[in-house]
Amino acid sequence: MKRITSSLLLGSSLLATLPTHAGEWLQWHGESLTYLYGKDFKVNPRIQQTITFEHANKWKYGDTFMFVDKVFYNGKADPGKGVTSYYGEFSPRLSLGKITGHKFELGPIKDVLVAMTYERGEGDNEAYLIGPGFDLAIPGFNYFTLNFYVRNTEGSRPGDNVWQITPAWSYTLPVGKSDILIDGYMDWVVDNDQTRRGTYHANLQFNPQVKYDLGKALGLGAKQLYVGIEYSYWKDKYGIDSQGNVDSNQSVTSALVKVHF
């Protein structure tokens, strides 16, 4: 665990030294706010509204993605979190190709990276992840990344040294005078060698978004304002084994509005 924590802190320290303006070090960055409204959530209260801040960048030796969710439980209290909650992830990656000056290319693989993620939520919810990442060149996709992590879950429900596979993608489909953007990710915790009750169970989360570029259609500028839906499928949500009277298998479609700035 100390080795994983040190790696994440190293990535954080490197990113903290970046200048705030785009240039040789910070090549580009983007921020957005998303509003979601959905019903039929599991484990937490059934109806939820979420506001999400996202930041992404590419810099001289890698890239970074982070987000923070503020969740509102529609006036109903969650037993462990109250009427609102928060959750966030910080995911820096270091490019071996950019650091060494050598190309790591083979077939669809365009770069090999060291991928790290720190997860933090309200209450007893914290995890550290590290492993190899890959940038893939797949025809038609804006991007396609594939990260393999060793996952360590902290707190009262440990899940140490289990593997998580995380692909993320983006695809643009032209429609009339505008576009439909299909993007998202999957987190698949494929195993857990912990067998005692209450541990972090293997689980699968699949979160695609389908968004219409309304800003482009209205002449306000492309890639600025989107409307659409997010689908959330989560088998054994939060690593809670769905069995008996416990239903932790979630399938929810939420309305979405997203603004980039």
What is the token pair recorded at 15?
């990113």
257: CB partners within 8 A, 6+ apart: 34, 35, 225, 226, 227
Give the integer Cα–Cα distance in Å for 93 and 66. 11
Average the pLDDT over 120-136 and give the result. 92
pLDDT, tens digit, 9 for 90 and up, residues 195-207: 555 678 899 999 9
Average the pLDDT over 139-143 and give the result. 97
What is the token pair recorded at 233?
């499928």
- Residues in a beta bridge with 118: 90, 128
Helix or strand holding residue 177 (H, E): none
Q: Which of 138-147, 174-183, 194-203, 214-223 has the lowest mean pLDDT?
A: 194-203
Nearest to 91 by CA among 114, 66, 60: 66
User: What is the pLDDT at residue 74?
Assistant: 87
pTM of the model: 0.86
Give ∠ CA 11-17-23 in degrees, rounded to 5: 110
User: What is the pLDDT at residue 70?
Assistant: 97
User: What is the pLDDT at residue 57?
Assistant: 97
User: What is the pLDDT at residue 157?
Assistant: 64
User: What is the pLDDT at residue 67?
Assistant: 98
Say if domain 2-17+30-260 classifies as CATH 2.40.230.20.
yes
Question: How do the domains of the chain map onto residue ranges?
Answer: 2-17+30-260
Give the integer Cα–Cα distance in Å for 238 and 218. 40
Give ∠ CA 91-53-12 in degrees, rounded to 5: 30
